[in-house]
Structure 1
Amino acid sequence: MSDSAPLVEYHGNCHCGAFKFTFKAREITQAKTCDCAICSKNGYIWGQPDGDSFTVVKGDENALVSYEFGKRALAHKFCSTCGSSVMVRWKIDSMGKAALINIRTVQNLDSTKLPLGDVFKGSTFGDAYQPPAAVPTGPVPDGSTVYHGSCHCGAVAYTLHSPEEITSATDCNCSICWRNAAVWAYPQTTQLTFRGVPDTVTEYAFSSHKAHHCFCKTCGVSVYTYFTDFERMEGKTALNLRTVNGFDLGSLDLKKGNGRELKPLYEVPA
């Protein structure tokens, strides 16, 4: 797109509405992604504000949880209440105050319809990501497939003994799942062994309060959801397959969940 193209003003917010912002940019016409570990686990889609047009209209950027790792060139920022990963800030002097915005948090932008642009190969920079140690469990039932996974920082980790290989999952477009980029499988809760739960997770529930979305307090990655008073999900935990070590999401039979249309419809909190 030409640099002379007009700027569009975008508005966004974390899910709970504690943090709201605006920025101007050339019209967003592609989904720009990165294959590094944190971007993959959070399913970021990136947009870059024009100049210093990023403006906070509610809340305080400094109140967002900031997660840094590796060479600490970037601060990944998420809401401590709902876990929405909103943005990153460069921390090196040559980049000034440059920011990238996770456009999954932008209002009235159907990023599901954006064509995928070139994937930035962030995985080739710095040291390769090392998953945390596997969570030990008891004997593995015969015929089971074992999966290990975690948030990015490793404070929350798990082992799953699945009676069969995971070949399908649900990609839900509801207001919270889309922001978290969650890709869900629904194993029996008894098949999961966690480390760091519940001490290192924050639970976020809204609307019916039947689904409790759990994300790491340190790095903000959405790991799992558990359910209360929800007969269809009794005895099950929703596991975000983005957090499974070495899992090939492209191999899945991905079912689209249209949670966006479920009543009551999500409205941006005042």
Structure 2
Amino acid sequence: MSSNPQLVEYRGSCHCGAFKFKLKAPELKEALRCTCSICARNGYLWTYPWPSRENFTVVQGDVNTTLTSYLWGHKMMAHKFCPTCGTSVMEDKMPHSTVVGAPDFAINIRTLEDVDFDSLRVEIFDGATLLPGSPHPTVEPVKNADGTTLYTGNCHCGALEYTLLNPEKITNATLCNCSICWRDAALWVYPQTTAVTFKNPDAAVEYTFANKECHHGFVTGFGEDAV
């Protein structure tokens, strides 16, 4: 009797469908959540189809031309995202990587269909210690004398920066389960537009879908949602 686990075929894609793929893997029952600055911002839930890529098949698009690569830190792994909708799909080891014994690539489980996310066991990986900091770390909020709180934010690469003047400290956020917010692991707050000031807003592009009433803004050099 074979000891090899039975494989399940999962289908995945970015939100706009420019990049689609199939993944054969044992039934997904666990995921890895890394705490490094880029994984935390994107809310990745990783699975590692290792040691072989033979069960990963691109159905539409191309890993290297349809998806855009973002590199930072040791630049050994490329974070691949769709430049149209901003969906972060996977990370891929660079040809010059000197990392030994690590998976060649990882898939963001949030891009897969028919996964029972409520039953996933999530393992925490301390990437914040292994890969400390980020190119442009977020500044701690400032409590003003009038009771308001000033927040300073940015995308991971620093191309887009903003400030948010909130009447009080932010203690609540909204988690939306629509198809794009789930892929992006977005946590939303809804300030008055006059309370937000952007620096270099042209660094972001807008993506709309369905009724096109909401514009999802992300930075084309990274794929991180800001608005």
Q: TM-score, normalised by structure 1?
A: 0.75
2:62 is aligned with 1:56: no
2:99 is aligned with 1:89: no
Map residues 1-270 of structure 1 onto 2, 5 A cutoff: 4-50=4-50, 51-52=52-53, 53-63=55-65, 64-91=67-94, 92=97, 94=100, 98-111=104-117, 113-129=118-134, 131-132=136-137, 142-197=146-201, 199-224=202-227
SS of the residue 1:149 aligns to = strand
What CA deviation, in whole Å up to 9, does each residue of 1:50-81 have, x standing for no partner?
A: 52121111011112110001110100000010
What CA deviation, in whole Å up to 9, does each residue of 1:173-215 have, x standing for no partner?
A: 1000000100010000100111120x11110001111000001
Q: CA deviation at 1:127?
A: 4.4
Q: Check conservation: 1:203, 1:214, Cα contact below 8 A.
A: yes
The 1:195–1:110 alpha-carbon spacing in structure 2 relative to 1, beyond 3 Å, is farther
What CA deviation, in whole Å up to 9, does each residue of 1:129-160 have, x standing for no partner?
A: 353586xxxxx682211111111111111111
SS of the residue 1:86 aligns to = strand
- Between the two proteins, the alignment pairs up a number of residues equal to 216
Amino acid at match of 2:133: A
Amino acid at match of 2:110: R
Q: Check conservation: 1:84, 1:180, Cα contact below 8 A.
A: yes
Amino acid at match of 1:122: G
Q: CA deviation at 1:117?
A: 2.4
Q: CA RMSD in A?
A: 2.1
Q: Check conservation: 1:155, 1:200, Cα contact below 8 A.
A: yes
The 1:47–1:133 alpha-carbon spacing in structure 2 relative to 1, beyond 3 Å, is closer
SS of the residue 2:49 aligns to = coil
Q: Check conservation: 2:152, 2:162, Cα contact below 8 A.
A: yes
What CA deviation, in whole Å up to 9, does each residue of 1:213-243 have, x standing for no partner?
A: 001111110111xxxxxxxxxxxxxxxxxxx
Q: CA deviation at 1:97?
A: 8.1
Q: Check conservation: 1:35, 1:123, Cα contact below 8 A.
A: yes
Distance in 1 of aligned mates of 2:102 and 2:134: 27
Q: CA deviation at 1:90?
A: 1.3
Distance in 1 of aligned mates of 2:103 and 2:149: 46
Distance in 1 of aligned mates of 2:224 and 2:180: 13
SS of the residue 1:206 aligns to = coil
SS of the residue 1:32 aligns to = strand
SS of the residue 1:40 aligns to = helix
Q: Check conservation: 2:173, 2:188, Cα contact below 8 A.
A: yes
Distance in 1 of aligned mates of 2:87 and 2:222: 11
Structure 1 residue runs without a partner (length 5+): 135-139, 225-270
Amino acid at match of 2:47: G
SS of the residue 1:220 aligns to = coil
Q: CA deviation at 1:40?
A: 0.4
Distance in 2 of aligned mates of 1:130 and 1:154: 7
Q: TM-score, normalised by structure 2?
A: 0.88
SS of the residue 1:104 aligns to = helix
Structure 2 residue runs without a partner (length 5+): none
